[in-house]
Chain A
Amino acid sequence: MDEPLQAPAMKATRTVEVRQSLLDGNDRQAALNRRRFQELGLAALNLVSSPGAGKTTLLERTLTEFGRTTPCAAVVGDLATDRDAQRLGRSRAPVAQITTGSACHLDAGMVARAVDRLDLAGARLLFIENVGNLVCPASFDLGERLRVVLLSAAEGEDKPLKYPPIFKSAHVVLLTKVDVAGVLGFDRAAAAENVRRIAPQARVIELSARSGEGIEQWYDLLGALVPKG
């Protein structure tokens, strides 16, 4: 390198090229999760949105209705409390709560430890409800097959333009709470168009977990995701 030939009294400043991804550790654990899910015969979905976009309400209905014929399990992340796990547990699906303390996202290690607490025998889909946040979860692979980003009618049509990284990484975007879109003056077509411009790869489904509009499309997508055999 650029060391002088004679050993100096003081150590010379050197430059070390490292080129190490800061997400290496998480990516390795995510790969382990992915293999484990595959061996268990289940597919995992990572649900991401801002707080209050309707992740838990959608999962409550999904676990109860879709889960009746296809065994599902859920892992749910929040900063504090097990309120969501209690809500989802009423469906009788195996549910584990992760309380992150102050962390604003789930990482692959947290998911692995939560999955250890679950009896996944027979489960075909694992829903991972991320901490409500549209920024940091974009960087953390959890080992999911599908990343689902929710955008509710209460949020404004331009969210995809303002938070592009998470939408760019989405396989599916759900426009939720469309039953109240009219009242809120939410332009569904404009929102879908903004998603298409930022994330043309993503499938868009407009739905309401309360009225049931669009929910069949969501179940069709889940049905196609269930591993065969």
Chain B
Amino acid sequence: METAIEAVVAQAREHDATQIHRIVLRIGALSGVDPDALRLAFDATVRGTPAAGAELELETVPARGRCVDCDLEFGVESDYIFTCPRCGRISGELVQGREMELARIELS
């Protein structure tokens, strides 16, 4: 979270902004990040920075796998077992879902 706030503050400086209104993070379903823990860390980290009072928005990036046999890309629901819907093969290849990214900020 500190990394995120540092990046946000750097952006604010670069854009000559004094107030940050909204911070949007993209968090992959398989990133290992717990949204509640992240919000708690956010509240603790923003104090005393230009990001204090900003709204934190979390965009979840759903997990997607690719079949190692037939190359099909497919979405993965809740259990994280990547079963190819076409050939049934269980695949370990992840196309997306590990993201931890500062997507955009609103500032003035």
Q: In the bound complex, how far is the Cα of B42 from the Cα of A22, in angstroms?
A: 14
B31–A21 contact, CB under 8 A?
no
A22–B3 contact, CB under 8 A?
yes
Can you name the residue of chain A whose Cβ is closest to the Cβ of B27? Answer: A22
B102 within 8 A of A: yes
B32–A200 contact, CB under 8 A?
no
Number of residues of chain A lying within 8 A (CB) of chain B: 31
| A18 contact set on B, CB distance < 8 A | 7, 11, 102-105
| A20 contact set on B, CB distance < 8 A | 7, 101-102
A-B pairs, top 8 by smallest CB distance, nearest first, are A201-B92, A164-B80, A138-B32, A165-B32, A13-B108, A11-B108, A22-B100, A200-B92
| B32 contact set on A, CB distance < 8 A | 135-136, 138-139, 165-166
B17 within 8 A of A: yes
Given contacts A135-B32, A165-B30, A200-B92, contact A13 B104 (CB under 8 A): no
A21 CB to nearest B CB, Å: 5
- Interface residue from B30, B100, B102, B103 paired with A168 (Cβ < 8 Å): B30
| A15 contact set on B, CB distance < 8 A | 104-106
B49 within 8 A of A: no
- Interface residue from A21, A165, A200 paired with B90 (Cβ < 8 Å): A200
Interface residues of B, Cβ cutoff 8 Å to A = 3-4, 7, 11, 15, 17-18, 21, 25, 30-34, 79-82, 90-94, 98-108
Q: In the bound complex, how far is the Cα of B27 from the Cα of A165, in angstroms?
A: 13
Interface residues of A, Cβ cutoff 8 Å to B = 10-23, 25, 135-136, 138-139, 161, 164-166, 168, 196-202
| A199 contact set on B, CB distance < 8 A | 92
Q: In the bound complex, how far is the Cα of B3 from the Cα of A10, in angstroms?
A: 29
Can you name the residue of chain B whose Cβ is closest to the Cβ of A12? Answer: B108
- Interface residue from B79, B80, B92, B104 paired with A17 (Cβ < 8 Å): B104
Can you name the residue of chain A whose Cβ is closest to the Cβ of B90? Answer: A200
Given contacts A22-B3, A22-B4, A138-B32, contact A16 B91 (CB under 8 A): no
B103–A17 contact, CB under 8 A?
yes
- Interface residue from B90, B93, B106 paired with A14 (Cβ < 8 Å): B106
A99 CB to nearest B CB, Å: 19
Q: In the bound complex, how far is the Cα of B33 from the Cα of A135, in angstroms?
A: 8
B104–A198 contact, CB under 8 A?
no
| B31 contact set on A, CB distance < 8 A | 138-139, 165
Q: In the bound complex, how far is the Cα of B107 from the Cα of A11, in angstroms?
A: 9
